[in-house]
Amino acid sequence: MGADHPPFGRTREATDYEEHVVSAPTSPADLVILGGGSGGYAAALRAAELGLSVVLIEKDKVGGTCLHRGCIPTKALLHSGEVADSAREGEQFGVKTSLAGIDMDGVNAYKDGVVSRLYKGLQGLIKSRKITYVEGEGRLVSPTAVSVNGETYEGRHVLLATGSYSRSIPGVELDGVRVIDSEQALGLDRVPTSAIILGGGVIGCEFASAWKSFGVDVTIIEGLKHLVPLEDESSSKLLERAFRRRKINFELGNLVSSVQPTENGVKVSLQNSKEFEAEIVLVAVGRGPVSQGLGYEEAGVAMDRGYVLVDQYCQTNVPTISAVGDLIPTLQLAHVGFGEGILVAERLAGLPVVPIDYAGVPRVTYSEPEVASVGLTEVQAREEYGDEIETLVYDLGGNGRSQILKTQGAVKLIRQKDGPVVGVHMVGSRVGELVAEAQLIFNWEALPDEVAALIHPHPTQSEAIGEAHLALAGKPLHAHS
């Protein structure tokens, strides 16, 4: 498949790593990358590993949003919340514990420490691969060149990987104090008494979960009819049920009409005339591509609503330019960026590459409980196969490990009749750790009988996947037929 994309055909001599490049190299690099987030740095590491000369340009810190302001710090925050819940609820496990309070300075020190260690490790990887790293705000100035810090870096190929920013709602102004985005929320030095979250997707539900664990009175406002609306409806309903038990409030199917400051906080008015007040408002309505004013359109790159358009190999309409990550209209997930970056690097090095099947990419919402899935939702499966599908739901009530953890939820399987499993959807504590096996089941087009033949260790939550497939294969064990 790589035949249409010839390699550059040369391996450079290794040069010393420079953290801040002062002058541009005199000869073109094999690859110039604009943006050092998940997609950009993955492409840089793999391309350098394959012998290509690489220039990596990043205006902030290598690692991008995911490492510094997204995936990693939010999951650290959620783990602090899990520890708080364990302390608060220890008695149900026969352990007399109590929660004295949340020390946000301590939480932030823990969170920042995790980020710092990973950042230093990533810096070491960049250095070890002899990648020329340039810190500064770059701009595409031709189909083969990026300008930064007054210097121009020529490349045989340019990769655009400038990532995304936190979107807002028209008419809602972020002030960084009372009305904040997710990046500002990660820097809070206090636990607010109450919060309204605009948006019930992944980001909104994760912050709602963490803040509730910290003792915040949380209300989610979601314009669509379910939380995590991109997931299977059954998963959304299970999460909603769990959030009700946790006393996380939510208003579904209603849009915001205004957000106004009050004497003690913020008031949110909805189009159905309902009003909510809280100390702060978090705007978590998704992320948009960072592409404006970077020279993309001037270089002839095809765009749509700010996104860079690419083919299945992440190549734009300009043969010397590719794009990856949140900048293109694919799943906005760090691991998707990794995969796309690696694909581009291998394509440019002349290796055969296979387009990414985005339905086969695992998706996880790290709330309590977690929501994890891969493959098609039931609605999508019916659109593709009509009535030629079967579904099965295995309740975690029959799973020993889940009972030990006192978690509730389910594993839902969707299969093509007499065919492979085309969707796996899970809700429950820690089910994100199970989705790797689900990914293999979907991507290898496994039949229920084939998975049912595998023996899963007992007692583990992974048994829930095995038990669900046993039931779908017509031989249930710890489940009603």
Residues with a known catalytic role: 458
280: helix, coil or strand? strand
What is residue 315's DSSP assignment? B
169 vs 269: CA distance, rounded Å? 13
403 vs 93: CA distance, rounded Å? 11
Which tokens hold the place of 209? Answer: 């979960």
Which tokens hold the place of 99? Answer: 């929660």
**327 and 19 in contact (C-beta within 8 Å)?**
no
Whether a cis peptide bond, with omega within 30° of 0, leads into 459 is yes
Question: Per-residue DSSP letters for 417-443?
Answer: TTS-EEEEEEEETTGGGGHHHHHHHHH
40: helix, coil or strand? helix
Burial class (CB in 10 A: 0-12, 13-18, 19+), 29: buried
Q: Parallel, antiparallel, or unpaired: how do β-strands 370-375 and 421-428 relate?
A: antiparallel
**53 and 29 in contact (C-beta within 8 Å)?**
yes
| Binding-site sequence positions for NAD(+) | 199-206, 222, 286
472 vs 336: CA distance, rounded Å? 30
207: helix, coil or strand? helix
Closest to 171 measured CA to CA, from 255, 288, 229: 255
Which residues have C-beta within 8 Å of that of residue 475, sequence separation ≥ 6?
Answer: 452
297 vs 172: CA distance, rounded Å? 29
Handedness of CA 75, 81, 86, 92 (dihedral sign): negative
| Binding-site sequence positions for FAD | 75, 138, 162-164, 326
342 to each of 42, 132, 330, 390, 397, how far by Cα in Å? 6, 18, 15, 36, 40
479 vs 466: CA distance, rounded Å? 11
**376 and 359 in contact (C-beta within 8 Å)?**
yes
Handedness of CA 418, 421, 426, 430 (dihedral sign): positive
**66 and 72 in contact (C-beta within 8 Å)?**
yes
| Alpha-carbon 221 to chain mean position | 21
